[in-house]
Each structure stands twice: as structure tokens, then as C-alpha cells.
Chains A and B, each alone.
Chain A
Amino acid sequence: MRNPAGILTRRALTATVAAGVGLATLASSALVSPARAADDPLKVGFIYVGPVGDFGWSYQHDQGRQAIEAEFGDAVETTYVESVPEGADAERVLNQLAAGGHDLIFATSFGFMNSTIKTARKFPDVMFEHATGYKRADNVATYAARFYEGRYVIGIIAGMMTETNTIGYIASVPIPEVVRGINAFTQGLRSVNPEANVKVIWVNSWYDPGKEREAAETLFAQGADVLTQHTDSPAPVQVAEEKGIYAFGQASDMSQFGPNAHLTAIVDDWHGYYIDRTRAVMDGTWESTDTWGGLDSGMVAISDYNPILPPEVVDAAEDARKAIEAGELHPLAGPLMDQVGQVVVAEGEVPDDAALLSMDWFVQGVLGQVPK
């Protein structure tokens, strides 16, 4: 378990350091970038694919935005536009933010990728940050989190808590990130319980409480006694609470939606990255980079464990989390076998990032197919 006190201390420490650095950078940025007057706040814009109140993906990005405000105070001004459709509208909103004097813009969904690249071409002086994409430019950086590391940890918990040996997985869209998460979860699950299987239902949406609820109920009816999800609404956690089974929160701590069912959550913690990148723009040291942070970077965190978890389960999860953080354990280390039993990654080997980023096959233990 990640000690909440630990987080606090780390944050407090960062804040103190930042306060000092912040003052220094303010002074220096006034010198190096004459375009912005010293008393002119840095404008940081965000576009979200969902509502800020989804309690999942967009909510966590908005927490990151608020962290920037808390960190820099009057030196920044933040703006957000929520529920931006991933079609023609995204480019208009990005354009409007860039033309409106924003210096740094976070586009927080994969579907904004081409719109971000197009807008960035028109505004070479504005810095863009695109979450989970793969196209970069001089003024477009990309960032994502290694959620699959967290999924391995909750896989262990699921494997120890299930009695029916059937885990229900509510999946969004069959992109490599989701497939990778299912595989990492299953590897964690099978590391403690080789008998257990994962049933997957695709809802083809990132945020659709109705469909997520339906999928959760179907999985329950098929015998699943632990649910996990790669969709953003708390609906599956609510279903688990109603049915008296277990579930895990996605993106943020969802325990308020199922105090008994919610075992723990994989939390996206963007605070650190957003603050760092904002500071880099202030310092004039911002560069287009590709960041893929995991448990060790703090970008992925495991939230508080439900007190109903037996101590040995918490210990097993904590051991795995620490081993992953220390780099001693890779959630998708070999031997990895596909569904027909063929060895894809040999024992002692670890798939490289390129293999992880294009993963489109399931490991053994997953029931169902990757839609193609």
C-alpha cells in the first residue's frame, strides 16, 4: 500500500522546493522571455474528452490542473473545456485556446491527436502536450502512464479474493493500451491463482455508464465475483456493491461508490508531470519529449486498500508493487503464452516498449478474442 503519509510528505517537499524554484524561475523567465511580462500569468489550457465529473479519466486530469493552480498560484491561469467531441470540434477548441494566449495546452485524450498536431503547426510558439498518442512535433510532447503495472498488482488481489475463479473485465476499445492492461492483469492473477480466468466484455466506449453497468451485470450473471474495468465511470463499482461482489476503481479512488466492493484503485496521478511541465515552460526549458511513467514515477498509484482485505493479500500486493517500482519485476516478463499455448515471450525475456505499444493478442487465461 502506498502510504498516504508518504504521498503527503513527498508533495509537501515538492511544494517547498517548488516555492523556491518558482520564485527563481519567475525572475529568470522574465529575463529570458521578453514576450511575457513578469506579472503576466502563464496561461495553461486543458481539453477533456469527458465531463470533469466523470470521477475517472477526465476528473483526474482536472485534479492535475488544480494542482498546477495550487502550486503556482497567481503565476498561472488555467482554463479547461470539458466534453470535447473527438471529431471536428477538437481542433476548433484547441485553436481557440492557442489563439487566446495560452502558452501550454494539454490535450488529454488519444482522439485529439491529429487535431493537436494540426493546431500545433499553426501555433509554433505554443507548447502542446498530448496524452497517450504517438505523434510528436517540435512543440508537441506526448505522455502516458504505465497503468499496466498497477493492473498486475490488482490482478494479484483478484486472484486471492475470487472464489469462482472467474474475473469480469469491462474493457473499452481494443487498442494496445487496453489489451496490454488485460494481459498484465491476467499475469498478476495467474501468478497467485493459475486456475482463474478473465472474461472480457467490450463496450466500445470510454465513458458510458449505461453500457458499463450492463456489461457488469452480464459478467456477474456469468459467475464473475470480482470485476475490474478499463472504462471511466463508477457504474461497475456500483454494480459490484449491489451484487455483493468485489471491484477495483479505475483512474481515481471510487470507494465512495462501493465502500464494501471497492478493494483498491489504480489512480492516475498527473500532478507531478503537470507541475514539472508547467515549470519547464516558465523556465524556458520545455522540450518535446515522450514520457511513459509507471509506479516508480508516481504517475500510477495504488489507492488505499479496503480494510476488509486480509493482511496476506495486502502483503502480496505490496510486495509486487515494490518489486515493480524497484525494477525487479516486469508485469509482462516471459514466459508469456498466447491463448493457444504458444510461447510469445520466452522465459527470462522482457518485451520492449515497441512490443508493448503494439500488443494485439491475449495471454493465456483470458477468455474471448481481441476484436479485429
Chain B
Amino acid sequence: MWPRLEARPERSRVMVYLTPLVAAALTALAGLVMFGALGYDPVEALYVFFVAPLTTSFGLSELVVKATPLVLCALGLAVGFRGNVWNIGAEGQLILGAIFAGGLALWAGDANAPWLLPAMVVAGMIGGMAWAAIPAFLRTRFHANEILVSLMLTYVAGLLLGYLVHGPWRDPAGFNFPETALFGDSAMLPALIEGTRLHAGALFAIVAVGAVWVLLMHSFIGFQVKVIGLAPRAGGYAGFSQARVVWLGLLCGGGLSGLAGMVEVAGPIGQLHPQISPGYGFTAIIVAFLGRLHPLGILLAGLFMALTYLGGDTLQIEMGLPRAMTGVFQGMILFFLLASDVLIHHRVRFGPRRAPAPAPTSTPEPETGGTA
């Protein structure tokens, strides 16, 4: 008897938390098959990919370093996504944060200034928020689509950074190479563990998880975001302002992405150059959805995504597999997650088809009929 899908009367709460694990298990299984087909020892390859990076203190510290910008960006994006505000431009906001914070660091030079790091944090967040304010303004004032505006501003941000490091901010002692001078010591985030690259930026991410959790789960504005996201008209009847949710979503996304940019340049990089982010702002979109737009979920998803990058490197070094493996694994995770999401709204049934359930006695809920 073939299994078949049957619609659930309401979405399964268990499955919401279970499907990411199902997706991970299916990815591992598909990985086994793929490595086997390529002629590698599948168990060893999976071990090298998912476990080996976690067995050394170096690997663990690097995992956190890699996850920090992903988690920061994804947290900010989740605030918007919950309210149907589609900020796709976290990458550009991250770059602006890096430019603002980096500009301050360059201006301060080698000065020994204890105020510099806090000022860079603020500058980075302002930079990101300023960049996100453009789509927020255009959306609320002119109904311009924030997906397109925020996405296209990403390219503008990249060109702006390119202009600065090729031109006015170029290191005078750098043989005209497109990069700024290295930041002074007081512009660098302190290491949390000596001898590793684990820096104080990781603490920002932890604090941000708590802050976004309070905002989304325990504040009135968070409730408004949720209502507007689920049922905009119901929110409207309740007197919630859609514009406010748009501004909140974009400013949170911009601010935290800008902070991520600051963390990158003041942490592992230590200068501005054209390549400060290998696409964190875009990967963060995947992280946000993998984490179910929930702060704790995003933390776990960010760490998991970081692991796929580290595992990809380790796979190249230990087994000589191509880098494409990283992309294949990330793609499979997303594919299996989206595919298994069907289980949230459906259940698998075996056996003969039952008679269709009697139609509900009440009239079907109108689109706006949320439980708000």
C-alpha cells in the first residue's frame, strides 16, 4: 500500500521542530550515498565534514567566528520576515556597517582610545540602519518594493566600498593595492581566548539573540509584527501600524547587519578591503529560515551553516574533495528542509483512503480571520 499525504486540520507543532532534524538526517543519508558513489569512504567523509571540525578547540573557536556574522544578520532579518518585510539587502547593510566602523577606526589611527570600540559599534549599527532606512522610506512613502530596493542597494554598497578602498581610503604605504591601512590596536575587538581568533563579537551575537527574543516574544511591538505578518488586515483593524512594522523590520535588519560588518572588520579582518564579506548577508536569509525565524533556532542554524563551511574546507584538506561539496551540502539541507516542511501541514497515511471528513460546520475562516 502506497503512503499518501493527508492534510492536517492545523499545523503540527511537533513537526515544526522535528523537520529540521529530519532534513539533517536526510542530508546525511544523501551524503553517504553521494560519497559512496564518488568512491570515497562515506562514513569517514561524513565524519570529516560534520564532526572533525568540532573536535579541536581551534575548530570550535573558528566555528563561532564564522557563525557570528551569520547569526547577527539572520536575527535582524527575522524581525522583518515575521512581519512580511522582505529585506534582502543585509549584505549591503553589513558593508555599510563595516564602512562606518572602519572609517572611524582609520580616522582614529594608532591613537590609544578606549572609547573607540564602543563608538565603532554604534557607527556600524548606524551605517547599516541608514542603508536600510532607504528601502523603509521608499516602501512606506511610495510603496516601492523593499525586496528590489534593498537588493539593489547591496550592489551600490559594494561599489561604494570599492571606491573608498581604491581611492580616498587607500593605504598610502600599500603600493596602490585596494585596501586600507591596518586598524590600530584599540580598534580591534579583544580576543576571548588567547591564541584563537574568537573575539568579543561573539558576545554581541549572544546578546542580540536575547534582545531579539524579548522583542519578538515578549513585547507588544513584537506581537504587532506577528499579527501584521500573519494577517495584515486584522492588524489594521486592531489599529496596528503597518508602516511601523516596516520601519522596525528594516531598521533591526540594518542595525544588526551593520553590527555584523563592524564585527568582521574589527575582528578577524582588521582593515577594509573589497572582499570583507563572502556573502554573509545572503547566507543569513537561509539561516533565518532554517532557524524558523526564532532567535534560538537562528543561533543553532547559524552554527550549523558555519559548520558546513568549515567541514567543506576540512574535506578539501583531508580528502581532496572539491569545494563544490560545501555548496552541495548547503543546497541539500535547504532542499530537504523545504521538502519535509510538507509534514507540518500534512501527515503521512498508510492504508485505504477514508471518506472525506465532513465539512466544518462553521463558515470557512475569512483570510483576515486571525485569532488576534
Q: Are A and B part of the same complex?
A: yes
Within A81-124, which residues are at the interface with B (CB < 8 Å)? 81-83, 85-89, 91-93, 95-97, 99-100, 110-111, 114, 122
**A-contact 0/1 string along B171-198, CB 8 Å cutoff:** 0000111100010000000000001010
Asked if A371 is an interface residue, CB under 8 A from chain B, the answer is yes
Which parts of B266-317 form the interface with A (CB within 8 Å)? 267-271, 273-278, 309-310, 313-314, 316-317
Q: Is B331 in the interface zone, CB < 8 Å from A?
A: no
Closest Cβ of chain A: how far from B284's Cβ, in Å?
15
- Bound form: Cα–Cα A146–B284 in Å: 42
Within 119-147 of A, Cβ neighbours of B (below 8 Å) are at: 122, 134
Contacts of B177 in A (CB 8 A): 110, 175
B270 proximity list for chain A (CB < 8 A): 114
Q: Give bound CA distance, A358 to B182, whole Å.
A: 19
Any chain B CB within 8 A of the CB of A79?
Answer: yes
0/1 interface trace, chain A 166-186, chain B, CB 8 Å (1 if under): 000000011110010000000
Within 8 A of A (CB), among B225-278: 264, 267-271, 273-278
Which chain B residues border A372 with CB–CB below 8 Å?
166-167
Interface size on B, residues (CB 8 A): 36
Interface centre among B58, B162, B316 (most CB of A within 10 A): B316
CA distance A343 to B176 in the complex (A): 22
**CA of A91 to CA of B65 in the docked complex: distance in angstroms?**
12
B323 at the interface (CB under 8 A from A): yes
Please indicate the chain B residues that have their CB under 8 angstroms from the CB of A114 in the complex.
182, 270-271
Q: Which residues of A contact B175 (CB under 8 A)?
A: 134, 175-176, 357-358
Find chain B residues with CB under 8 A from A79 CB.
316-317, 320
Q: Does B146 contact A (CB under 8 A)?
A: no
Distance A16 CA – B177 CA, assembled complex (angstroms) = 41
Tell me, in angstroms, the Cα distance from A257 to B322 when the chains sit together. Answer: 24
Could you tell me the distance between the alpha carbons of A313 and B112 in the complex, rounded to whole angstroms?
62
With a cutoff of 8 Å between Cβ atoms, the chain B residues found around residue A358 in the complex are 175-176
Minimal beta-carbon separation of A49 from chain B (angstroms): 9
- Please give, as numbers and ranges, the residues of chain A lying within 8 Å of B82 by CB-CB distance: none
| Closest-CB distance, A336 to chain B (whole angstroms) | 18
On chain B, the residues within 8 Å of A100 by CB distance are 317
Main secondary structure of the interface of B (DSSP, over half): loop
Write the nearest CB–CB distance from A324 to chain B, whole angstroms: 24
Would A111 and B267 count as touching, CB distance under 8 A? no
Asked whether any CB of chain A lies closer than 8 Å to the CB of B62, the reply is yes
**A87 proximity list for chain B (CB < 8 A):** 264, 268-269, 273, 275-278
Complex CA gap A358/B170 in Å reads 13
Q: Are A111 and B278 in contact (CB under 8 A)?
A: no
Give residues of chain B (311-354) contacting chain A, Cβ–Cβ below 8 Å.
313-314, 316-317, 320, 322-323
Given known contacts A51-B323, A173-B178, A80 and B166 CB-to-CB distance under 8 angstroms = no
Which residues of A have CB within 8 Å of B58? 95-96, 99
Does the CB pair A82–B322 fall under 8 Å? yes
Give A326 Cβ to nearest chain B Cβ, in Å: 29
Taking A82-B322, A371-B166 as contacts, is the C-beta distance between A91 and B314 under 8 angstroms? no
User: Chain B's nearest CB lies how many Å from the CB of A351?
Assistant: 15
B276 contacts across to A, CB distance below 8 A:
87
- Cβ-defined partner of B166 (8 Å) among A52, A83, A93, A173: A173
Contact B178 A175 (CB under 8 A): yes
Q: Is A360 an interface residue (CB 8 A)?
A: yes
Residues of B contacting A86 in the complex (Cβ-Cβ under 8 angstroms): 273, 275
Pairwise interchain contact A81-B275, C-beta atoms closer than 8 A: no
B313 touches A81 (CB 8 A): yes
Interfacial chain A residues near B316, Cβ < 8 Å: 79-82
Q: In the complex the two chains form, is B162's CB within 8 Å of A204's CB?
A: yes
Q: Contact: A174 with B166, CB < 8 Å? A: yes
Q: Which chain A residues border B317 with CB–CB below 8 Å?
A: 45, 79, 81, 93, 96-97, 100
Q: Which residues of A contact B195 (CB under 8 A)?
A: 122
Most chain B beta-carbon neighbours within 10 Å: one of A52, A93, A179: A93
Instruction: Please report the C-alpha to C-alpha distance between residue A45 and residue B317 in the assembled complex, in whole angstroms.
Output: 9
Could you say which residues of chain A place their CB within 8 Å of the CB of B277?
87
Give CA–CA (A110, B267) in the complex, Å: 20
Closest to A93 in B: B313
Q: Measured between C-beta atoms, what is the minimum distance from A331 to chain B in Å? A: 19
The answer for the CA separation of A13 and B197 in the assembled complex, in Å, is 47
Contact residue among A52, A88, A122, A174 (Cβ-Cβ distance under 8 Å from B176): A174
- State whether A176 touches B271 (Cβ < 8 A): no
Interface string of A342-366 (1 = CB under 8 A from B): 0000000000000001101000000
B176 touches A89 (CB 8 A): no
In the assembled complex, the Cα of A179 lies from the Cα of B322 at a distance in Å of 34
In the complex with contacts A82-B316, A92-B313, A96-B317, A111-B275 CB distance below 8 A: yes
Q: How far is the CA of A93 from the CA of B178 in the complex (A)?
A: 22
Contacts A80-B316, A81-B317, A82-B323; A92 near B62 (Cβ below 8 A)? yes
Q: A residues within 8 A CB of B178?
A: 173-175
The answer, among B166, B273, B323, for a CB contact under 8 Å with A81, is: B323
- Is A371 a contact of B269 with CB atoms below 8 Å? no
Q: How far is the CB of A371 from chain B (nearest CB, A)?
A: 6
User: Which residues on the B side are within 8 Å of A93 (C-beta)?
Assistant: 313, 317
Task: Digitize A269-288: 1 where CB-to-B-CB distance is under 8 Å, 0 elsewhere.
Answer: 00000000000000000000
Q: How far is the CB of A135 from chain B (nearest CB, A)?
A: 10
- B313 contacts across to A, CB distance below 8 A: 81, 92-93, 96
Instruction: Kindly report which residue of chain B lies nearest to residue A78, judged by CB atoms.
Output: B320
Interface residues of B in 124-180 (CB under 8 A from A): 162, 166-167, 175-178
Chain A residue nearest in CB terms to B309:
A89
A161 shortest CB reach to chain B, Å: 31
Please determine whether A85 and B275 come into contact, CB atoms closer than 8 angstroms.
yes
Docked CA distance A360–B166 (Å): 12
Identity of the chain A residue whose Cβ is nearest the Cβ of B314 in the assembled complex: A96
Give chain A residues whose Cβ lies under 8 Å from the Cβ of B66. 88-89, 92
Distance from A75 Cβ to chain B, minimum over Cβ atoms (Å): 18
**17 A-B pairs in the complex with CB atoms less than 8 angstroms apart:** A79-B316, A80-B320, A81-B317, A85-B275, A87-B264, A87-B277, A88-B65, A88-B264, A96-B314, A99-B56, A111-B275, A173-B274, A175-B175, A176-B175, A176-B176, A358-B175, A372-B166
Excluding A87-B276, A95-B58, A371-B167, 8 further A-B contacts by CB distance (< 8 Å) are: A79-B320, A81-B323, A87-B268, A92-B310, A96-B317, A111-B273, A175-B178, A358-B175
Nearest first, the 3 A-B pairs at minimum CB distance are: A88-B268, A85-B278, A86-B275
